[in-house]
Amino acid sequence: MSKEEGKIAEGSYPLRTWEKLIRLVPGIAGYQGRERVREADKLLRTALANQIASYQERVEEVKGALVERKDLRLLSPLDLLTRRMAQSRDTLTFSSYGYTGVFDLAHIGDAELERIYQFDLSLAERIGKLGVAVEGLSSKSSQEGALPGAIQELDNALKDFMTILAERSQAPRG
């Protein structure tokens, strides 16, 4: 057994990043085992996709409240946000799971695997920021002049999330 295989088998492969993931995503504890990487990748993507779906529902509620008040001015940017959320959710849901390189040590080293873990951690952290922005939108939906700023904050958080998601898709995978 090589040194790298030993690290993976004992679950100490790279601890700092994956320990953060464990705290952020329930069920991700199996991520350290080579044989469970694909399963853990699916768990992460599913958890993130479900979170985005719940955020979409919240934005839809804001849209519904605007329609009830007959305030249609901001429906267009909110529609755009929900479409982009759906796109992110679908990317997470329908992308292939796991990383071919993780299963073949000749193709991936410590640095590359750490990079994959960093992308996953970045996604998990950014989903939290996206949630804060959705909460801000929801709480400001009844305030007359506050909604455009909240929409912009949500737009920025979603763009940030989508950028990391796009970068993650460039990482070695199977």
What pLDDT, on a 0 to 100 scale, did the predictor assign at position 83? 97
User: CB count, 10 Å around CB of 51?
Assistant: 19
Instruction: Examine residue 90 and state whether it is found in any structural domain, yes or no.
Output: yes
Number of domains, the chain: 1
The torsion defined by the Cα of 84, 169, 121 and 106, in degrees rounded to 10, comes to: 170
d(CA 172, CA 169): 8
DSSP for 47-97 reads HHHHHHHHHHHHHHHHHHHHHHTT--TTHHHHHHHHHHHHHHHHHHHHSPP
* 174 within a domain of the structure (yes/no): no
Name every residue whose Cβ is closer than 8 Å to that of residue 166 and which is 6 or more positions away in sequence: none
Q: Following CA atoms 129, 130, 133, 137 in sequence, which dihedral angle do they give, to the nearest 10 degrees?
A: -160
pLDDT of residue 1: 44
pLDDT tens-digit profile of 3-24?
544 443 444 444 466 566 666 6
> What is the residue-averaged pLDDT of the chain?
78
- Domain that includes residue 153, residue range: 3-169
Nearest to 56 by CA among 25, 24, 88, 91: 88
For the chain, 174 residues long, give each residue's pLDDT as a single digit of tens: 445 444 434 444 444 665 666 666 655 554 455 445 667 777 888 999 999 999 999 999 999 999 999 989 999 999 999 999 999 999 988 876 554 444 444 455 566 667 777 888 888 889 999 999 999 999 998 887 899 999 999 999 999 999 999 887 776 544
Residue 82 lies in a domain: yes
Model pLDDT, residue 120: 80
Q: Which pLDDT score, from 0 to 100, does residue 6 have?
A: 45
3-state secondary structure of 17: helix
